[in-house]
């Protein structure tokens, strides 16, 4: 698998540089680090929002920086947690004096490194809280559930709450409310390939697919013959609706990076039909490449039961390039 790439050792910094160059009025890099912050720095007296983790999930996480969403994003190497020092720089860049919320996906490296950064920031007098996203129901054991595309809803909703002037405790509370509700599951027709080694994340013959994949090249929980998309969607919807019983929902059909938008809309048709047949009311649909895994071809479905508070935050203005409202 070929990539549009200059040098595998600079893969992430080249992506970050390109993002900042393409949006010079919006983004700025912390000198010498793959840490991106809001141009002009933190907003005084607003709760700062920081996310990040390994790279390869673009537009996550830096593409979600912008008025109404994140203030800084910490971009580790591909599928590799950033160091605590990098996270600390992200926290400092986001701190406007009202404290900082860290939105962390549930991977041991991220949880550990963001936690160490929290301690370091507190030593410098910055108030920090953390939420951990674990929306991937492919994993049975709840403690081990990974954070995937549902993280984008946490960014959007917590970001809108912060922008509306809520306190750090209040922003954390609404982020935790989203986390308690949001569930995702994904599939892949093809693996992703690591920039340095050129190796695929998993083996997958051309006529087979994985159900229940992760976003770091983790193979799924079931390998089977490629099927018509309605059958695939039905399987994911079956698992998701077993856990999500509230019927008024936002739905995200998320591409894994190499999925053309045409196939995502086509997929959404069947996902929405299946959900409506089960009595769900889709009040906010989102279709696009939001939380990717390099060039993997596949999709995930995310369901978020909403109430008026969450809807209001979903609909609030966002200038983040990955989630314009």
Per CB under 8 A, residues contacting its own copies are 1-7, 11, 14-15, 17-19, 21-23, 55-56, 58-59, 63, 189-190, 206-207, 209, 226, 228-230, 232, 257-270, 272, 285-287, 289, 292, 294-295, 297-299, 324
CB 315, min distance to its own copies, A: 12
- On whether the CB atoms of residues 257 and 295 are closer than 8 A, the answer is yes
Q: In what order do the strands lie in the sheet with 48-55?
A: 27-29, 35-38, 72-78, 48-55, 100-105, 128-133
CB 53, min distance to its own copies, A: 14
- Dihedral of the alpha carbons of 289, 290, 294, 299, in degrees to the nearest 10: -60
Q: Of 23, 57, 61, 155, which residue is the catalytic one?
A: 57
- On whether the CB atoms of residues 53 and 12 are closer than 8 A, the answer is no
CB 59, min distance to its own copies, A: 6
Q: Of 23, 61, 155, 216, which residue is the catalytic one?
A: 216
Question: Which of 30, 266 has the CB closer to its own copies?
Answer: 266
CA nearest to 45, candidates 96, 93, 102, 100:
96
Measure the N-to-C terminal CA separation of the chain; round to a whole number of Å.
35
C-alpha distance from residue 73 to each of 55, 93, 139, 323 (Å): 10, 10, 26, 15
Question: Which of 131, 271 has the CB closer to its own copies?
Answer: 271
Known active-site residue 216: yes
Question: Which of 101, 303 has the CB closer to its own copies?
Answer: 303
CB 228, min distance to its own copies, A: 5
Question: Which of 5, 242 has the CB closer to its own copies?
Answer: 5
Known active-site residue 57: yes
C-alpha 273/C-alpha 301 separation (Å) is 13
Question: Which of 20, 111 has the CB closer to its own copies?
Answer: 20
CB 234, min distance to its own copies, A: 11
Helix residue ranges per DSSP H, the chain: 11-22, 84-94, 108-123, 150-163, 168-181, 229-243, 261-277, 308-315
Q: Which residues are the active-site residues?
A: 57, 216
């Amino acid at each position: 698998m070929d990539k549009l790439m200059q040098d595998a050792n600079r893969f992430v910094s080249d992506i970050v540089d390109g993002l900042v160059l393409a949006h010079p009025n919006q983004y700025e890099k912390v000198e010498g680090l793959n840490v991106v912050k809001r141009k002009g720095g933190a907003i005084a007296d607003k709760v700062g929002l920081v996310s990040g983790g390994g790279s390869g999930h673009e537009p996550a996480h830096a593409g979600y920086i912008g008025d109404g969403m994140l203030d800084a994003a910490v971009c580790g190497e591909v599928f590799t947690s950033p160091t605590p020092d990098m996270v600390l720089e992200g926290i400092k860049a986001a701190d406007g004096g009202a404290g900082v919320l860290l939105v962390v996906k549930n991977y041991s490296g991220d949880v550990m490194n963001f936690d160490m950064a929290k301690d370091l920031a507190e030593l410098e007098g910055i108030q920090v809280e953390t939420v951990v996203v674990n929306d991937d129901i492919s994993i049975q054991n709840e403690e081990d559930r990974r954070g995937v595309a549902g993280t984008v809803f946490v960014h959007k909703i917590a970001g809108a709450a912060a922008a509306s002037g809520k306190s750090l405790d209040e922003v954390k509370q609404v982020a935790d409310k989203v986390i308690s509700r949001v569930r995702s599951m994904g599939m892949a027709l093809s693996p992703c390939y690591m920039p340095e080694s050129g190796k695929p994340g998993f083996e997958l013959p051309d006529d087979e697919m994985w159900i229940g994949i992760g976003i770091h090249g983790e193979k799924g929980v079931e390998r089977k013959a490629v099927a018509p998309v309605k059958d695939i969607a039905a399987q994911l919807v079956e698992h998701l609706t077993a856990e999500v019983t509230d019927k008024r929902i936002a739905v995200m059909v998320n591409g894994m990076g190499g999925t053309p938008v045409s196939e995502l809309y086509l997929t959404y048709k069947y996902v929405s039909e299946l959900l409506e047949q089960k009595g769900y009311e889709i009040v906010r649909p989102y279709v696009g490449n939001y939380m990717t895994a390099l060039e993997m071809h596949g999709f995930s479905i995310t369901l978020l039961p909403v109430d008026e508070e969450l809807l209001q935050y979903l609909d609030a203005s966002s200038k983040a390039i990955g989630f314009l409202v």
